[in-house]
Structure formats: C-alpha cells, structure tokens
A and B are shown apart, each in its own frame.
Chain A
Amino acid sequence: MFKKIIMVLLAASMAAVSACSNGSNEKTAEKPQASAKPAAPADPFGKYEEPVTITTAYSVDPAFKSTKGETLENNAWKTAMKEELNIEIDIAWQVSKENFDQKMNLSIASNDLPDAMVVSQVQLNQMVKAGELEDLTEAYNNYASPSVKRIMESTNGLAIEQVTFDGKMMAIPHVGAEDFNMLWIRQDWLDKLGLQPPKTVEDLENVAKAFVERDPDGNGKADTIGIATGTGLYNDFTAGPGAFDLTPIFGAFNAFPGFWVEGEDGKPAYGSILPETKNALAKLRDMYAAGLIDKEIGIRKAAEETVISGKAGMFFEGFYGGYWPLPSAWQNDPKANWQAYAAPLDKEGKYNVKITNPSNGYLVVRKGFEHPEALIKLNNLYLRDEAIHGPDFMLIRNFFAPLDEIGFEYKAMQEVLAGTKKPEDYADLPEYKLLKNSLETIKNAKLEPYDKLDIQYWNQSDKDFMRAYSIMVGARNHFDPNLNKIKSLSYTRTESVEKRWTNLTKLEKETFLKIIMGSAPLDTFDQFVKDWKKQGGDVVTEEITKTIQ
C-alpha cells in the first residue's frame, strides 16, 4: 500500500552524500604518481616484487556454472595472475549483470569506488566529470602489449577518441568485433512456397505477403507473421546493433536514422530528419498496413517469442542468430531452416549497413590507485592466454576482439572445411581467441556436404554448434559483395547530447512508431523535423559538427 516506490529510485533518489568520504581520496590523489618504481623499463608482462591487490566490482551471471568446476575463489586465472604478475583481486561487491549498473551508479554517487571496474559510457562521462578517475595515458602507452595496441588501432582511433578527455586517456575502451544486422529467414518456408530469397525491398514485401497469406507452416490457420520486430526500430549512434529491429529496411532507402551522416550541404546532419528516412517510413507504413510486419511492433517486449514458436518467417539480427534465439526455436521445430542474407538491397544494389560503436564498456581506475598499470598488464595477460585458461572468471576484463574477428573466423572455417588449410596453419593468432577451438571442432558440428548450409546438414547436439552455425550462416554475409558500410560521423555523447537526448529520443520514437502504425499521417514527419530542430536538435547538431572538425 504505502510502500515506497523503489525501482524508480535508481535514477530518482540518487540523492545525497556526506562529506566524510572525501578527505581520504583527495589526499591520495595529491601524492606524486611516481611511486610506482620506474626501475625496470616498462614490461607489459613484468611481475611485481610485492603483491599488488586490486579491489573491484564483479558482475556475476546467476545462471552461470563453470564447466570445469572452477569457482571465484579457485580458478585458473587467479593462479595465473598471481604467478605471472603477482596480482591479486579482491571483490568489493558482486551483483548480477542486470543490476550491475544500478549498483555501480550508487557507488559512483556515493564516491565509494573499488580500485578498478568496467563501466558504461554514461558512467564514464559522469566519473570523469566528477573527477573520480585516474589518468591512464602513461600506463597505457608504456605497458599495453603490442596485441592490445594492434586491436586498439584497428578502430582507426575511434575507440581511443571516446575515452580521451582534454588529451588524457581516462579509460581503456573495450573493442568488440564488427557486426551488423542481416535478414534471417525461414528457407524451408521459401522452398515450400516456391520462392527465392528476397533481394530488393519489393521482393521482401512479396515474400512477407506470401508468408502471411499462404500458410507456410501448414496448420490451416492464418497465424503466421511476416517480419518479427521488437520495440526498437533502429539504434542511434550511442548504442550497438540491436536484435529484432528494422535497420536494414531503412538502409535500403539510404536512410540512417539515429546516425550522424553527411547532409546535402556537406555538413553533418542527423539521419532521422532527412528525407530518405521519410521514404523508408512511408514504405514501412504500407507494409504495416498490409499486415507484413508484426502487428504488435513497438509493444511486444519479447519479440523473439514469435520466432521461437515458429510463427514468424523473418527477422533482422546480427551474425549470432545461431546463438540466440534460434536454439530455442529448434527445440520446438528442429527442421526450421533459418538462413541469413544481406538483404534488402538499395536501388543501386548495395546492402547498406550501419557500423556501430566498437566499444560498449570501459575499464576505469579510481583516482589515487597506486598501480594503474597493473590493470593494463592484467589485460595483456588475458588477451595473450585466453586460449589456455578459458573465458571464465576474467575479472576486470577489457573485452578485446579484432574488428574483423567474425569474418576472419568464417574465412578460416571455410578454408579448413574445403581442405585448403589446416587448423594448425592458424596457430599463433592469440587475438582471435575462439579461432583455434572453432577450427578444430568445425567438422563435428558441420555435417557433409560442407558447402550446404541447410539445417539438416548440421549436428545440432554438438557443443560447438551454436558458434559454428552463427559463423557459417551469419558471418558469411560479412563478405557479401554488395556490402556498403556506413559510419556515424560521431559516436560521442557531447554535453548537449546528454542534456537534450531524452526528449529528442522520445519525440522521435513516438512519431516514427505512430507513422508506421498508421495512427499519425505520414506528413507528421515534416512537423517532427521542425520540432526536433527547435527542441534542441539544432544545438546538438552544431556541437557535433564542432567535435568532428
């Protein structure tokens, strides 16, 4: 009844703080940093003479069970970091992944931070602004291993740019493998109805129409859905690729809503307010009216349900369909033959994909921590030895993957299956962490003939099946000849973005959904453009323009 309304509070009652916790931190911050002995030249894997203890926050996955029976107290990495670097990690607090942000926000707000932790971009910005973080420039430059630096540089400065504040590197960014959304489609339905995989938007419409109207699941009921979609229509420049959105259809109209692209006048413009986006919306509106898109778009929270239940014939997702949600779908129907294509194409026959921010996490170190380089060394070790010690219990880990990891693995798999190369030919590439295992096991997961990808030629019960299928079927499209990669001109949350984005996003999402679902006329778009500019969009654009120059 009168219970306090709590959930809101994460955001809402971030309230006060006492002065008592301040003194100590600032004192340590004033101490000269040089206390880390510069005796030996910087060795990325140098062992400390005295043990170094790092406290951290640990995000556990409640469903996690180590296959090797390891525990937090007793695991290979704990031993390895002690023996190789003389580093120990203490857990200040641990919490499930889903609640990690809440708990971290509380830590930030009460200035009660562990020594090192991995945070989000919002949190990073906040911590920098609050002066809670140690400058990592020197530690990174002197101690990062060549592999780490290679991966960082593969982003062409994009990763480092985001963590650089006034010329100082305040965090080490994650670098994730590049990926983009593609069309996942029921090949068995296509075959049954005598259709070809769609290439253009028109094809896509026809296929969707057939899927909806011609009872592809043969149950005699009109209960099938053309394209399954969730609540997000596309991601803006602040987020990674989302599952179950409509980005590729926008792309087919050369529309890149949410991205900063070059406008007609050559200046940066916001993709959502350009005429191409209106064209895409017009098409989506028609498709929705014709019943080709999930009727409950924008409302359905668990969009994957319709795929798992075998009701939907298409959806858009990254290469990882074989990881999720298809394994659940195959439990209901092991013969559902899901294949992936780089479609629909634009008028010039190109498949336009949005390249998202390569970093979705940032390793930061509390101001005043004496050994910031210890974190760099630790992650050098993680990257070098993951193939040996496995992926479990890598505390305070910077996730590093070469940008081309997914595609590279596909190429290698293909070569191995074709017999032109052997797994041993790919030895000595520790950055591609899963490559070795993938190549050694691919012939268990993939059945002959190796050049046929349909579901019946796979061993679904193999333990490496999920990755093998995702790479072979999904990552295949990373080499599609029609691929055209679009980058946002900026991936940075500037000050004015932070100030206005909540409202601008609300306006945008509401308008677009209403247009698609037919509860507002298409020309609402023009009003939206005006409102968007007036309500702060112009200011944001100006600031983004400045950051690019």
Chain B
Amino acid sequence: MIRETSAASKIFDLTLIIVLVAISLLCILPIWYTLMVSLSQKSAAAAGIVSVWPKGFNLNSYQQIMKDAMFFNSFWVSVQRVGLGAVISFAVTVLMAYPLSKSTKDFRLRNVLMWVLVFMMLFSGGLIPLYQTVKAYGLIDSVWVLVLSGGLPMFNVILVMNFFRNLPKELEESAFVDGAGPWYTLIKLIIPLSVPVLATVTLFSIVGHWNEFFSGLVFMTKPDNYPLQTYIQQMVVQMDLTSISNDPEALKRLNELSNQTLNAAKIFIAMIPILVIYPFLQRFFVHGITLGSVKE
C-alpha cells in the first residue's frame, strides 16, 4: 500500500480516528443499554431508571433463560433455518446471476427473464394468498416454509449479476477457448473472483433469516416451531394502556408481561450468534484480494 507522510495527511488520519470513535460510541449505546437492563433488577427496569450502569446487578434473567427449554428449542429452529436458507440462497443466487450476466447475444431470452425478476421484486400478491398457497403445498409448520416463503432473493441476484458482469471478459473467454464449459467456468473461475460480493450476499441472507419473525407467526401453528426471533418478538410488546381487561387472571399477569429485564437478556443472547459471524466474514473483504492478479 502507498505510504503518505505529509503533515496534512497525518492530521487527516487523526481527525478520522476521532470521528469514527465518536460514531462507534453512538452505535454501541443501544446494545449497551439492553445489556444493562438485562443485568438490572426487575423493578428498576420497570421504572425506567436504568441508564449507563445496571441498577441492582444480578444474573437472574440469564439463569432463567438457561432453564427455558422453549428458548433453546427456538434457537435450534433458527439455526436450521439459517443453515438451509444460506446454502439455498447462495446456490440459487449464483446460478441465476451467472446466466443473467450474459448479453442477449449469448443468451437470447436474458432480458425477458431479467425483467420478470425486477417486476416480481416489486409486486406481490399479499399475505393471504401466500398463506393459502403455502397451505396448499402442505408446508405449514415445516422449517421449509421459513426458508422459502420469503421468496427468491432477487436483490441479491441483481447485486451479484452486476458484479459478474463487471469482471473482465477476457478471463472467461480464454477459459472458453481452452474448452471449459459454463459450469466449470462459473465454479472454477467466476466464483473465486467474486468472493467479496458473495460474502456480502451470504451475510445478507444469514442476517435476514436470523432476524425475520413474521413468517414464523403466520405459518406456524404452535410455538414449538417458532424460530428464535418469533419467540422473542411475542414477548417484547408494548402494553396497550387504553384497553386493559379487568379479568382477574389477565390482571395478575400484567406485571409479568412487562418483564423487561428478561426480555432484554433474551434479545441480547439472540444477537450474539449473528455478531460472531460478521467478524468471521470480514476477512473476505480484504482489499484487492481478487483482482490483484488480473492483468489488464
């Protein structure tokens, strides 16, 4: 890399670091707050007086989660979903992006097929027909509905397609000249050259599958099949003060319902796996890893 040593450049570097540290602090705030709430006393959290440090430090919430079979059950559903979802999305995305990156000269129907995708990215029939369709397929309560009901990741396909298209044509052509077929070229040449963008879309699909909760709610008939975020979402709700029923049983549970420390702990634990994945994927974003070897 190029070194620069002028004074102006050094001042610039320093300012940059200060700004970035400030921004980072601003971004870590909500997570920190969630962590502190999870470590505080229930009554302090309910009173909204937890701030930078926990009030009445304790680990009760975490002990409670360790005993919660449902939590781990949902965790496992989420892991399955993310595993299947990431692999399938990856394969389909690559397989679609490659032919679509061809020109109409090489692939006559390319434009039609492309615009069908763009169109479908924007239009949808809505939730109810989707529900009925899924029901007709017999996928209610199956982990597959979590993997597939979100539909084809068209955004990722377009992103990867663009990346493929901007790769130097000469490489591919010389491979063809050497007698390689499209499958061989895609796997041995194109994919290795596209690691950063593939890492990006994989991250997107992992994060997307991990965070999504609504399809769990819609397509699962019992909480045993919920993915983690659906399980958590049903706890983290705001009480509607304008409609409290005076059914004694419901009243008794009002205090439980707003158990913020436990909810915070769940949110925090649920976040950890996904936070671990990012630094791992980061090494694919190293500058110039791919094209440095390409001769122009």
A and B touch in the complex (CB under 8 A): yes
CA distance A303 to B238 in the complex (A): 11
Among residues of B, the one whose C-beta sits closest to the C-beta of A65 is B256
Q: What are the residues of chain B within 8 A of A92 when measuring CB–CB?
A: 221
Contact (Cβ within 8 A) A360 B128: no
CA distance A223 to B202 in the complex (A): 50
With an 8 A cutoff between CB atoms, is A290 at the interface? no
State whether A15 and B125 are in contact (beta carbons under 8 Å apart), knowing that A2-B155, A243-B241, A244-B241 are contacts in the complex.
yes
Per-residue CB contact flags for chain A residues 342-366 toward chain B (1 = under 8 Å, else 0) read: 0000000000000000001000000
Q: How large is the interface on A (under 10, 10 to 19, 20 to 34, 35 or more residues)?
A: 35 or more
Q: What are the residues of chain A within 8 A of B231 when measuring CB–CB?
A: 62
State whether A9 and B127 are in contact (beta carbons under 8 Å apart), knowing that A2-B155, A308-B46 are contacts in the complex.
yes
Q: What are the residues of chain B within 8 A of A106 when measuring CB–CB?
A: 127-128, 131, 218
Contact (Cβ within 8 A) B234 A103: no
CB distance from B50 to the nearest CB of A (A): 11
CB distance from A117 to the nearest CB of B (A): 14
* Cβ contact of B251, chosen from A7, A63, A324, cutoff 8 A: A324
CB distance from A280 to the nearest CB of B (A): 18
Chain B, range 1-24, C-beta contacts under 8 Å to A: none
Q: What are the residues of chain B within 8 A of A112 when measuring CB–CB?
A: 131-132, 135
Contact (Cβ within 8 A) A328 B245: no
State whether A434 and B128 are in contact (beta carbons under 8 Å apart), knowing that A63-B257, A240-B243 are contacts in the complex.
no
State whether A328 and B235 are in contact (beta carbons under 8 Å apart), knowing that A103-B217, A231-B242 are contacts in the complex.
no
CB distance from B200 to the nearest CB of A (A): 11
Q: What are the residues of chain A within 8 A of B223 when measuring CB–CB?
A: 60, 62, 94-96
Contact (Cβ within 8 A) A16 B217: no
CB distance from B152 to the nearest CB of A (A): 13
Contact (Cβ within 8 A) A239 B46: no
Chain B, range 248-269, C-beta contacts under 8 Å to A: 248-249, 251-259
Chain B, range 131-188, C-beta contacts under 8 Å to A: 131-133, 135-136, 150, 155
With an 8 A cutoff between CB atoms, is B91 at the interface? no
Q: What are the residues of chain A within 8 A of B259 when measuring CB–CB?
A: 63
* Cβ contact of B248, chosen from A1, A239, A434, cutoff 8 A: A434
With an 8 A cutoff between CB atoms, is A302 at the interface? yes
CA distance A9 to B128 in the complex (A): 10
Give the secondary structure class of A's interface.
loop
With an 8 A cutoff between CB atoms, is A17 at the interface? yes
Contact (Cβ within 8 A) A325 B46: yes
* Cβ contact of A13, chosen from B41, B124, B241, cutoff 8 A: B124
Q: What are the residues of chain B within 8 A of A10 when measuring CB–CB?
A: 127
Contact (Cβ within 8 A) B47 A13: no
Per-residue CB contact flags for chain A residues 165-183 toward chain B (1 = under 8 Å, else 0) read: 0000000000011010000
Per-residue CB contact flags for chain B residues 44-64 toward chain A (1 = under 8 Å, else 0) read: 101111000000000000000
Contact (Cβ within 8 A) B251 A232: no
State whether A17 and B128 are in contact (beta carbons under 8 Å apart), knowing that A103-B217, A176-B245, A332-B44 are contacts in the complex.
yes
Contact (Cβ within 8 A) B241 A230: yes
CB distance from B226 to the nearest CB of A (A): 9
Among residues of B, the one whose C-beta sits closest to the C-beta of A17 is B128
CA distance A13 to B125 in the complex (A): 8
Contact (Cβ within 8 A) B247 A309: no
CB distance from A16 to the nearest CB of B (A): 4
Per-residue CB contact flags for chain A residues 491-529 toward chain B (1 = under 8 Å, else 0) read: 000000000000000000000000000000000000000
CA distance A92 to B141 in the complex (A): 12
Contact (Cβ within 8 A) A332 B241: no
Contact (Cβ within 8 A) B254 A93: no
Per-residue CB contact flags for chain A residues 8-37 toward chain B (1 = under 8 Å, else 0) read: 011001111110110000000000000000
CA distance A242 to B242 in the complex (A): 4
* Cβ contact of B126, chosen from A1, A16, A176, A310, cutoff 8 A: A16
* Cβ contact of A242, chosen from B127, B221, B238, B241, cutoff 8 A: B241
Q: What are the residues of chain A within 8 A of B212 when measuring CB–CB?
A: 3, 6
CA distance A96 to B155 in the complex (A): 33
Contact (Cβ within 8 A) B128 A231: no
Among residues of A, the one whose C-beta sits closest to the C-beta of B136 is A20
With an 8 A cutoff between CB atoms, is B214 at the interface? yes
With an 8 A cutoff between CB atoms, is A338 at the interface? no
Chain A, range 56-115, C-beta contacts under 8 Å to B: 60-64, 91-96, 98-99, 102-103, 106, 109-110, 112
Contact (Cβ within 8 A) B128 A110: yes
CA distance A9 to B44 in the complex (A): 35
Q: What are the residues of chain B within 8 A of A99 when measuring CB–CB?
A: 217, 234
* Cβ contact of A16, chosen from B125, B234, B246, B256, cutoff 8 A: B125
With an 8 A cutoff between CB atoms, is B237 at the interface? yes
With an 8 A cutoff between CB atoms, is A215 at the interface? no
Q: What are the residues of chain B within 8 A of A243 when measuring CB–CB?
A: 241-242, 244
Among residues of B, the one whose C-beta sits closest to the C-beta of A434 is B248
Q: What are the residues of chain A within 8 A of B251 when measuring CB–CB?
A: 320, 323-324, 466, 470
Q: What are the residues of chain A within 8 A of B235 when measuring CB–CB?
A: 62-63, 96
* Cβ contact of B214, chosen from A6, A21, A95, A325, cutoff 8 A: A6
User: 14 extra interchain contacts, Cβ-Cβ under 8 A, other than A4-B150, A93-B221, A302-B258?
Assistant: A15-B126, A18-B129, A18-B133, A61-B257, A62-B223, A94-B223, A95-B234, A99-B234, A112-B132, A309-B47, A323-B254, A328-B42, A328-B255, A331-B41
20 A-B pairs with C-beta separation under 8 A: A2-B155, A3-B212, A6-B214, A13-B124, A13-B126, A16-B132, A62-B223, A63-B253, A63-B259, A92-B221, A95-B217, A110-B128, A110-B135, A239-B243, A303-B241, A320-B244, A325-B46, A328-B258, A329-B47, A470-B251
Q: Residues of A at under 8 Å CB distance from B? A: 1-4, 6-7, 9-10, 13-18, 20-21, 60-64, 91-96, 98-99, 102-103, 106, 109-110, 112, 176-177, 179, 230-232, 235, 239-245, 301-305, 308-310, 318-320, 323-325, 327-329, 331-332, 360, 391, 399, 401, 406, 434, 466-467, 470
Q: Residues of B at under 8 Å CB distance from A? A: 41-44, 46-49, 121, 124-129, 131-133, 135-136, 150, 155, 204, 208, 212, 214, 217-218, 221-223, 231, 234-235, 237-239, 241-249, 251-259
